[in-house]
Amino acid sequence: MITVAVCGAAGKMGREVVTTVCGADDTRLVAAIDKFSTGVDVGEIAGCGACGVPITLDLTAALSDNRPHVMVDFSVPSAVKANALTALSMGIRLVIGTTGLSERDLRELDEAARAKSTAVFVAPNFAIGAVLMMEFAERAARYMPNVEIIELHHEQKVDSPSGTAMLTAQRIGAARRQAGVAADPLPTEQKLNAAGARGACEEATGQVPVHSVRLPGFVAHQEVIFGGPGQILTIRHDSINRASFMPGVLLAVRKVVDLPAGLTVGLDAIM
């Protein structure tokens, strides 16, 4: 039985994780951490029925008292690094779905995990279909190097571009370099009517333009659009609701207990 703590348990993703962990035969929820609804049974908040685990604000005490095998973090970008370092200092394995961590942050988490001989797993997207989308895009980029990404998320997502879009773009950039191909240069006379009109396009995105949409009604969606002479190839993935991420989260919880010490990134690494 894998014991699990959920950080950000009262949030939309956190509630889904709570329901999933409570419903699986091989996982048991032992702690729920959030700054909202403290003292309330997290099962009632999640809608899966009382589970005997109240929400607490004190992360250190929750982890010290319950010593979970794994902590799952779906909190907020401003808190995830501190949460992770607290868990790693106790040798607790981590599954992180909160985006917004920088490359420097990831290196620091890797070092902290190695120092404690434990594992930290980070994924920008836990939907298995999204992982396949990235793999297909990486393959297509070798033959159709002209590509842009449009990612669309709900209005409460605080980071942009999304972690999924960033990783997709980076993988496309790496695939193009490996294949020795490059996107066609833009016309030198092209006029941009507004800054960022071509989307984020820099080293961090593998030199692939990424356009971000934040509107009510969306959950998580991404289009990777390739253009070539006389043809367009579009690879699109849509998460209609947050249940789409839960098989991937559960897979990560089960796999992280056996991962080597240090950082592992991306669901494809454990599929």
Q: List the end-to-end C-alpha distance of the chain, in Å, as a whole number.
A: 21
* Stretch(es) of the chain classified as CATH 3.40.50.720: 2-122+243-269
Nearest alpha carbon to residue 38 among 56, 65, 12 = 56
**Residue 110 — pLDDT band, cuts 50, 70, 90?**
very high
Nearest alpha carbon to residue 95 among 271, 243, 87 = 87
The yes-or-no answer on residue 237 being catalytic is no
pTM across the whole model: 0.82
pLDDT tens sequence across 194-216: 888 888 888 888 899 999 999 99
**Residue 261 — pLDDT band, cuts 50, 70, 90?**
very high
Fold of 128-240: Dihydrodipicolinate Reductase; domain 2 (3.30.360)
CATH number for the domain running over 2-122+243-269: 3.40.50.720
> What integer pLDDT is reported at residue 201 of this predicted model?
84
> What integer pLDDT is reported at residue 174 of this predicted model?
96
Average pLDDT, the chain: 95
Largest CA distance in the chain: 65
DSSP 161: S
Helix 128-141 vs helix 163-179: crossing angle, to nearest 10? 30
> What integer pLDDT is reported at residue 163 of this predicted model?
87
Degrees, nearest 5: CA angle 162-166-170: 170
Nearest 10 degrees: Cα torsion 250, 255, 256, 257: 110
> What integer pLDDT is reported at residue 190 of this predicted model?
81
Three-state DSSP state, 162: coil
* Stretch(es) of the chain classified as CATH 3.30.360.10: 128-240
Cα(74)–Cα(55) distance, integer angstroms: 14
- Whether the per-residue pLDDT at 255 is higher than 90: the answer is yes
Three-state DSSP state, 265: strand
Average pLDDT over residues 136-150: 98
- Tell me: cis bond preceding 216? Omega within 30 of 0 counts: no
**Residue 60 — pLDDT band, cuts 50, 70, 90?**
very high
Are the C-beta atoms of 264 and 121 separated by less than 8 Å? yes
Are the C-beta atoms of 94 and 73 separated by less than 8 Å? yes
> What integer pLDDT is reported at residue 26 of this predicted model?
98
Given 81, 157, 211, 221, the catalytic residue: 157
Given 35, 69, 81, 153, the catalytic residue: 153
> What integer pLDDT is reported at residue 140 of this predicted model?
98
The yes-or-no answer on residue 116 being catalytic is no
